[in-house]
Structure 1
């Protein structure tokens, strides 16, 4: 039986990206008030959140909202979740300013003018996986004397080294950052990937107006997508292209394999969407 992947998102782009990779996730709306969560954490820290902090925070919040806890696991359509839950979030940073979803056409136009003036920016992509498989399907973590999987809590050093190898192998240029890889609990792995984007230098005001008029940029981080009409305006991507869509497939694969002993092909042809 394939491992079921629950996607704590209703994003068509994330679902399509997974489907193109042979994975049919179960879509679950997390119901998280992102602004409230981010504001509360910023107030707790007494400062603004960095890009990696923001996307990691919201990815975790979404995954936890769907996964529940070991004592009270989440459910979908009345059935207990039995699989792994993925939560993700994205933010685009330009000259130190984080851009979320613009919502308003006027804001989207201003964002594009600023992004073009800067030449590009960094897309931060947060990832959180929570293991909610039946206990019999989980890989031993070594706490009961059994041999742990190299990535699990029984050998955190091996886990860190494995993901460090991933970072070295996948980094496309010195400007691309993969950071913030943590394991806050045995059943949870959190990571942040990034990609640096360069926009077409000759994009005109008419092109900005035409793109904003489509409505496509209003509800996406940074006011653009690479899997839609904005693809022609992006001249270069340094990093994982899938991270720009909403989740880094190479990072997701590494987290599943090294964190939980789940090979990528174990998610192929999974059950359909509920």
Structure 2
């Protein structure tokens, strides 16, 4: 049995991930004001944001599964969302290079037909290469880091600046496919039914 699948996100990377496993979602951007949520615990923050994004979209569709997601990178005790501008991206990359960060992605899946929801968090460790200032500047000039949580895209040019990851790679891109499979199963759906 399949059910309409709605992605409450404008992220093309998340849409491509879903399409790669046979789910062609309806994209319905929540436009939720993330500044409303002020939490210091990274897991609670991304789970709450993902849930709120999905909840906003419940008013726009019916009889659907709605997926909301949110990602942040934590380096030391600092939470990094999308860099505000190139200067912020540069400063962050200077701190990140040669070190590591923890990428948190909150996932909220609301099933309107059963009036149930599942909220989970995927966590992946990311190890950054020892890149030069010139390489950081060249990367920022591409514009890619300015639209990504943590200031890098694993599915893009940023992959050349990451040495390795420990955990789910699709989680770093913005949506953990193994976690989504298990969340669907909790709601009695089989990911393979979309194939």
- Category of TM-score, reference length = shorter chain: over 0.9
More strand by share: 2
Q: Name the structure 2 match of 1:266.
A: 193
- Determine if the alignment matches structure 1 residue 60 to structure 2 residue 51: yes
Q: Tell me if structure 2 keeps the 8 A contact 1:130–1:187.
A: yes
Is contact 1:3–1:266 with CA below 8 Å preserved after alignment?
A: no
Find out whether 1:192 has 2:121 as its counterpart. Answer: yes
RMSD of the alignment, in Å? 1.3
The 5 Å alignment of 1:30-109 reads 30-36=30-36, 38-39=37-38, 42=39, 49-67=40-58, 74-75=59-60, 80-109=61-90
User: Which structure has the greater CA radius of gyration?
Assistant: 1
- SS of match in other structure, 1:129: strand
In the alignment, what sits opposite 1:131? 111
TM-score by length of 2: 0.96
Long gaps (5+) in structure 1: 43-48, 68-73, 139-185, 269-274
Q: Within 5 Å, which residues of 2 pair with 1:226-265?
A: 226-258=154-186, 260-265=187-192
Q: What is the Cα deviation at residue 265 of structure 1? A: 1.2
Query: Structure 1 runs of 4+ off > 4 angstroms?
Result: none
Higher RCO, Cα 8 Å, sep 6+: 1
**TM-score normalised per structure 1:** 0.69
Distance in 1 separating the partners of 2:70 and 2:118: 15
Number of residue equivalences: 195
After superposition, give the CA deviation of every residue in 1:48-99 in whole Å (9 maximum; x if it has no partner): x2110110110011010001xxxxxx23xxxx42220000000000011100
SS in 1 for 2:56: helix
- Once residues 92 and 193 of structure 2 are traced to their aligned partners in structure 1, the CA distance between those partners, rounded to angstroms, is 40
1:8, CA displacement in angstroms?
A: 0.4
Q: CA deviation at 1:10?
A: 1.1
